[in-house]
A and B are shown apart, each in its own frame.
Chain A
Amino acid sequence: MASKDETVFHATGLTKVYRSGAHEVQALRGVDFQARKSEFIVILGPSGSGKSTFLNIVGGLDRASGGEVWFRDHQLTALDDRGLTQYRRDHVGFVFQFYNLVPSLTARENVALVTEIARRPMSPDAALALVGLSDRRDHFPAQLSGGEQQRVAIARAIAKNPEVLLCDEPTGALDSATGIKVLEALAEVNRKVGATTLVITHNAAIRDIGDRVLRFADGRIVEETVNATKKRPAEVSW
């Protein structure tokens, strides 16, 4: 294993322009960014500031219009669709606001969906145990609460032992108590699995649980704060 401060992500001059007809939207206007192994990064910023766009490019879901992103020695911005798929499959775990679970599969099956195609997965049961849902593994998403569904999504994201965990508003659809549980699950996983974790949130209170906080505005990173001490999710006031 590489050293603790090995660079996992390295982005320079990242831009993204959405074109719809004559209309142009500058979603990213030159983002420079680095992340180290096991780092827990919280991303804040007003709506429309480009947070999701940034996360999607880093996660290999979308392509940049300009600039470069490197994941270790892979230049993501040079990969084709097949290469990006392989990147997501091998290295990235995702958690989204709306969980995106498969409704026809049980909790355990949703996790197994990913472990079946992963290189060095943990067992689905172990992943569910990490998020505290062992006893609900045979329930379908429709039988679970929002928070429970989100924890299944986290279990699914970490079950492959990913090197990066990307979370876009994971607590956005949850009440505060549930949100804390979900964040605790994320923090726990970050500690145990050692995945570099990026979490987008609108809740500024959450900033304290990260190693570092990035603030987006108008397609740029406008502020970067390093937390000397991390709080545990339960300690932050919501």
Chain B
Amino acid sequence: MVISPLRRKVLRDLRRLWAQALAIALVLAAGVATLILGNGAYASLSETRARYYGEFRFADVFADVTRAPLALMAEVRGIAGVLAAEGRIVKLALLDLPDMAEPGTILLVSLPEAGEAGLNQLYLRQGRLPDSQSADEVVVSEGFATAHRLRPGSSLAVVMNGQRRTLRLTGVVLSPEFIYALGPGELMPDPRRFGVAWLPRPGLEAAHDLEGAFSNLVLKLAPGADADRVIEAVDRLTAAYGGAGAIGRADQISHAFLDAELRQLSAMVKILPPVFLLVAAMLVNMTLSRLVTLEREQIGLLKAIGYSGRAIAQHYVEFVLAVAVVGIAIGFAAGAWLGAGLAGLYARFYAFPFLVFARDAGVYGLAALVTAGAAVAGALFAVRAVLTLPPAVAMSPPAPADYRSRMGFALQHLALRQTAVMTVRHLIRWPLRTASGIFGVAMAVAVLVASLWTFGSIERLIDLTFFQAERQDVTVAFAGAEPARAVQAVRQMPGVLLAEPYRSVAARISHRTLSRKVSITGRPAETTLSRVLSPDARPMALPDAGLVLSEALCDALAVRPGDLVTVEFLEGQRRTITLPVSGQSLGYVGLGAAMEISALNRAMHEGALISGVNLMLDKAQGPAFYAAAKAAPKTGFVIVLGRTVQRFRDTLAENITAMISVYVVLAAIIAVGVIYNFARIALSEQGRDLASLRVLGFTKAEVSGILFGELAVIVLLAQPLGWGIGHLIGLGMVTAFSSDLYRVPLVIGREVYAMASLVVCAAALASALAVRRRINRLDMIEVLKTRE
């Protein structure tokens, strides 16, 4: 095979410039990897979910009622657009497990009767489904089974509606309804404390006195049906039966969390890959500009002997494409590897029966195309100038670098050493490249700031939520509303130091065309345990009347304190009233609405009712208290806040640590890529001068200092810029991440900026040391023999 001379030059250039080429390739690879990871994970997650939903008939509309006759189902099925409907019994029960002192919670769901098609079908992992005639057979969700080492044949003690029952496991299952299985009052799935169990109807009917009735409704809609219309119709039909308001998929917890995850992924894809590709294009441009300058005379010669501008441009594009191919290959591998890691995380958080791997050629193809495009764009930009030169001009050496102009002269009045003057003049001489260098390093800082802040943010979220607002050790929620004196019974339980009642009522709050379904919490005006915080994070007393809404809810409804909202209670007498918004509160989890408890009771036209009690416990008496709580017939479920915080912190710490390790590597790649290339180019331009200085008796350290001075200026100037850009990215992330489920506080402490700068400076130092070897090896004699 005959290789054309120009192509041979490509190979030779690659060999000669391998370190710079590799640095660029790595930045490109980071772009490719994040593109593949982001797009791939997005596609994988959304396709897995879609397929799971499709195959297992995930419902479109969900509604809870107190007790509705099964006869109502005929009317429900008659609603226009409803394809299938199922009336189920869904009830919480307490878990009484030998390996857990505190009571866990299990959600019991009735299985469809034989012959019913069934929505939210189960995926059987192990064993078999319960016999429809059996009263004690049950299948449980996989996460829960794993956490407690339950297998078909194991038995499970639960307290259903105050009655203790022992159930027998026949199988382990997954359900599209509980891909993200969040227990009541929890912030993170905790499969130890919360599980889902499916059992035949008769057992549940008997325990809850629901013969011939249902407490939960799931609907599948015909394609193209208007979900809002159906929801309205369902609400009308179920109102008389204690309907708590139907919801669509968007408000179904499991689905909504997956949506939030998908939104974060798409935000990541919008931010990270462009950063890398931009930096890579800049690096290609920087490096190639220098190469082209060095080869200017050769280019002129090639043109003179008849090579077309195109052919010469193609030569440089080939060089860059070769670099891009390496970058893309590394990026593919890294992207696939990181993707597998992320899929592993998903598998732990989300209970999928399978994961559809989006090894979609499209994702890879797109990533390769975009990346190669960025590289080639950077190259053409660099080559353009030389190609337009007439051959004769190109063949003569370029005019010597002109240092006369600009602010160079101002330096004479500063008492700088001449070596420092060299440093500054060289930076000023190439303003575009200097700016690119600063920008590139700033991006590395920014990527770090934008990832490192999450630690502090989570800590603040935890502090505000659990140490300022929800300070109770335990919350005991009753199965239904109880008279206020029920608090006395709880106060009598062992270890209770302080007990404060609360009322929690499902309601729809509307303002103009906006509305949200929330639960309004009634509390005494001043509380010690569960407190409402003002926007400046101080505990606030609840007003005599009117609602205090969280900032998130105020935003969602577009209201401000002083506005009036319509409140439609979805419990009790189901009154609809108008209430003023009397205050705004701080809250990052969910949409919060609070009222003074007796005002809430009055507004509901009910007596002094409470839904549960917040407690401060004497830790030493925990087990005794938990035993009493399990035995109390009114206990619906128990939330142990200490465990919730622990779980929250552990899980997030693990995820964030994994994420931040990736980001630190990515930022280091940018920093090294930019600084190493910058240093090599500066060295290529000034190597002759530096070698001359060595001849004059300057030491290796002094000579390196001139070049390192340039790097130091770049790195220093990049810091504030990087902090600023990082802050902006953080702001964008907060916006992208916030949903009705949670918000993230943007707190970027000084330690975040310091850490980001530290990592980048370390990367800069490493690149500088790599170049130092070349400075030390500068050939003094060589530069004396040749003209520049």
Given A86, A104, A105, A168, which contacts B697 in the complex, CB threshold below 8 Å? A86
Interface size class of B (residues with CB under 8 A): 20 to 34
Interface size class of A (residues with CB under 8 A): 35 or more
Q: In the complex the two chains form, is A94's CB within 8 Å of B421's CB?
A: no
A residues 87-129 touching B (CB-CB < 8 Å): 87-90, 92, 94, 96-98, 100-105, 109-110, 112-114, 116-117
Q: In the complex the two chains form, is A90's CB within 8 Å of B697's CB?
A: yes
Q: In the complex the two chains form, is B699's CB within 8 Å of A141's CB?
A: no
| Residue B417 is within 8 A (CB to CB) of chain A in the complex | yes
Given A56, A62, A88, which contacts B696 in the complex, CB threshold below 8 Å? A88
| Residue A82 is within 8 A (CB to CB) of chain B in the complex | yes
Complex Cα gap A158–B426 (Å): 26
Per-residue B-contact encoding for A49-76, CB less than 8 Å = 1, 0 else: 0001000100001100000000000000
| Residue A34 is within 8 A (CB to CB) of chain B in the complex | no
Q: In the complex the two chains form, is A142's CB within 8 Å of B401's CB?
A: yes
Contacts of A112 in B (CB 8 A): 418
Q: Return B423 CB to nearest CB of chain A, in Å.
A: 9
Q: Return B735 CB to nearest CB of chain A, in Å.
A: 46
Specify the chain B residue showing the minimal Cβ separation from A124.
B418
Q: Return B713 CB to nearest CB of chain A, in Å.
A: 15
Given B404, B418, B784, which contacts A100 in the complex, CB threshold below 8 Å? B784
Q: Return B710 CB to nearest CB of chain A, in Å.
A: 12
Q: In the complex the two chains form, is B787's CB within 8 Å of A56's CB?
A: no
Q: In the complex the two chains form, is B786's CB within 8 Å of A98's CB?
A: yes
Per-residue A-contact encoding for B424-462, CB less than 8 Å = 1, 0 else: 011001000000000000000000000000000000000
Q: In the complex the two chains form, is A105's CB within 8 Å of B421's CB?
A: yes
Contacts of B692 in A (CB 8 A): 100-102
Q: In the complex the two chains form, is B401's CB within 8 Å of A94's CB?
A: no
Q: In the complex the two chains form, is B786's CB within 8 Å of A85's CB?
A: no
Contacts of A113 in B (CB 8 A): 418-419, 693, 696
Q: In the complex the two chains form, is A85's CB within 8 Å of B425's CB?
A: no
Complex Cα gap A44–B780 (Å): 23
Q: Quick one: given A96-B784, A116-B418, are A104 and B403 in contact (CB under 8 Å)?
A: yes
Q: In the complex the two chains form, is A88's CB within 8 Å of B695's CB?
A: yes
Q: In the complex the two chains form, is B784's CB within 8 Å of A98's CB?
A: yes
Q: Return A29 CB to nearest CB of chain B, in Å.
A: 19
Q: In the complex the two chains form, is B697's CB within 8 Å of A109's CB?
A: no
Complex Cα gap A104–B707 (Å): 14
Complex Cα gap A156–B422 (Å): 16
Q: Return B517 CB to nearest CB of chain A, in Å.
A: 70
B residues 647-692 touching A (CB-CB < 8 Å): 688-689, 692
Q: Quick one: given A85-B699, A86-B697, A102-B689, are A142 and B783 in contact (CB under 8 Å)?
A: no
Contacts of B788 in A (CB 8 A): 98
Q: In the complex the two chains form, is A140's CB within 8 Å of B403's CB?
A: yes
Contacts of B785 in A (CB 8 A): 52
Complex Cα gap A82–B701 (Å): 11
Q: In the complex the two chains form, is A62's CB within 8 Å of B781's CB?
A: yes
Per-residue B-contact encoding for A10-24, CB less than 8 Å = 1, 0 else: 000000000000000
Q: Quick one: given A89-B696, A94-B696, A102-B689, are A109 and B421 in contact (CB under 8 Å)?
A: yes
Q: In the complex the two chains form, is B401's CB within 8 Å of A102's CB?
A: no
| Residue B98 is within 8 A (CB to CB) of chain A in the complex | no
B residues 747-784 touching A (CB-CB < 8 Å): 780-781, 783-784
Specify the chain B residue showing the minimal Cβ separation from A87.
B697
Contacts of B399 in A (CB 8 A): 142
Q: In the complex the two chains form, is A89's CB within 8 Å of B695's CB?
A: no
Specify the chain B residue showing the minimal Cβ separation from A168.
B784
| Residue B402 is within 8 A (CB to CB) of chain A in the complex | yes
Q: In the complex the two chains form, is A92's CB within 8 Å of B429's CB?
A: no
Q: In the complex the two chains form, is B783's CB within 8 Å of A100's CB?
A: yes
Q: In the complex the two chains form, is A94's CB within 8 Å of B695's CB?
A: yes
Given B417, B693, B786, which contacts A102 in the complex, CB threshold below 8 Å? B693
Q: In the complex the two chains form, is A61's CB within 8 Å of B421's CB?
A: no
Q: In the complex the two chains form, is A104's CB within 8 Å of B780's CB?
A: no
Contacts of B695 in A (CB 8 A): 61, 88, 94, 100
Q: In the complex the two chains form, is A92's CB within 8 Å of B689's CB?
A: no
B residues 482-520 touching A (CB-CB < 8 Å): none
| Residue A203 is within 8 A (CB to CB) of chain B in the complex | no
Q: In the complex the two chains form, is A105's CB within 8 Å of B781's CB?
A: no
Q: Return A89 CB to nearest CB of chain B, in Å.
A: 3
Q: In the complex the two chains form, is A82's CB within 8 Å of B699's CB?
A: yes
Q: In the complex the two chains form, is A140's CB within 8 Å of B696's CB?
A: no
Q: Quick one: given A98-B786, A98-B787, A104-B401, are A85 and B418 in contact (CB under 8 Å)?
A: no
Q: Return B400 CB to nearest CB of chain A, in Å.
A: 4
Complex Cα gap A61–B399 (Å): 30
Complex Cα gap A140–B401 (Å): 10
Q: In the complex the two chains form, is B400's CB within 8 Å of A117's CB?
A: no
| Residue B574 is within 8 A (CB to CB) of chain A in the complex | no
| Residue A143 is within 8 A (CB to CB) of chain B in the complex | yes
Complex Cα gap A104–B686 (Å): 10
Q: Quick one: given A104-B426, A105-B422, are A142 and B402 in contact (CB under 8 Å)?
A: yes
Contacts of B634 in A (CB 8 A): none
Per-residue A-contact encoding for B560-595, CB less than 8 Å = 1, 0 else: 000000000000000000000000000000000000
Q: Quick one: given A61-B695, A102-B692, A102-B693, are A109 and B418 in contact (CB under 8 Å)?
A: yes
Given B697, B700, B786, which contacts A89 in the complex, CB threshold below 8 Å? B697
Q: Which of B422, B429, B692, B785 has the most CB of A within 10 A?
A: B692
Contacts of A94 in B (CB 8 A): 695-696
Complex Cα gap A103–B697 (Å): 18
Given B421, B697, B783, which contacts A88 in the complex, CB threshold below 8 Å? B697
Complex Cα gap A104–B404 (Å): 8
Q: In the complex the two chains form, is A104's CB within 8 Å of B786's CB?
A: no
Complex Cα gap A130–B421 (Å): 25
Q: In the complex the two chains form, is A117's CB within 8 Å of B697's CB?
A: yes
Contacts of A56 in B (CB 8 A): 781, 784
Contacts of B787 in A (CB 8 A): 98, 173
Specify the chain B residue showing the minimal Cβ separation from A118.
B697
Q: Return B430 CB to nearest CB of chain A, in Å.
A: 11
Complex Cα gap A156–B788 (Å): 19
B residues 285-328 touching A (CB-CB < 8 Å): none
Contacts of A116 in B (CB 8 A): 417-418
Q: In the complex the two chains form, is A141's CB within 8 Å of B426's CB?
A: no
Complex Cα gap A101–B783 (Å): 11
Q: Return B774 CB to nearest CB of chain A, in Å.
A: 16
Complex Cα gap A191–B421 (Å): 33
Given B426, B429, B694, which contacts A85 in the complex, CB threshold below 8 Å? B694
| Residue B337 is within 8 A (CB to CB) of chain A in the complex | no
| Residue B18 is within 8 A (CB to CB) of chain A in the complex | no
Contacts of B425 in A (CB 8 A): 104-105
Contacts of A110 in B (CB 8 A): 418
Contacts of A82 in B (CB 8 A): 699
Contacts of B401 in A (CB 8 A): 103-104, 142
Q: In the complex the two chains form, is B422's CB within 8 Å of A117's CB?
A: no
Specify the chain A residue showing the minimal Cβ separation from B409.
A138
Q: Return B406 CB to nearest CB of chain A, in Å.
A: 12
Q: In the complex the two chains form, is A103's CB within 8 Å of B418's CB?
A: no
Given A86, A90, A102, A140, which contacts B404 in the complex, CB threshold below 8 Å? A140
Q: In the complex the two chains form, is A117's CB within 8 Å of B429's CB?
A: no
Per-residue A-contact encoding for B619-646, CB less than 8 Å = 1, 0 else: 0000000000000000000000000000
Specify the chain B residue showing the minimal Cβ separation from A61.
B780
Q: In the complex the two chains form, is A105's CB within 8 Å of B696's CB?
A: no
Q: Knowing that A103-B401, A116-B417 touch, tell me 12 more A-B residue pairs with CB under 8 angstroms.
A: A61-B784, A85-B700, A89-B699, A103-B403, A104-B401, A105-B403, A117-B702, A140-B403, A140-B404, A142-B401, A142-B404, A168-B784
The list of the 8 closest CB pairs from A to B, nearest first, reads A89-B697, A88-B697, A104-B425, A100-B692, A113-B418, A142-B400, A104-B403, A102-B689
Q: Which residues of B contact A (CB under 8 A)?
A: 399-404, 417-419, 421-422, 425-426, 429, 688-689, 692-700, 702, 780-781, 783-788
A selection of 20 A-B contacts at a CB cut-off of 8 Å is: A56-B784, A85-B694, A85-B697, A85-B700, A86-B697, A87-B697, A89-B698, A89-B699, A94-B695, A98-B784, A100-B783, A102-B418, A103-B403, A104-B689, A110-B418, A113-B419, A113-B693, A116-B417, A168-B784, A173-B787
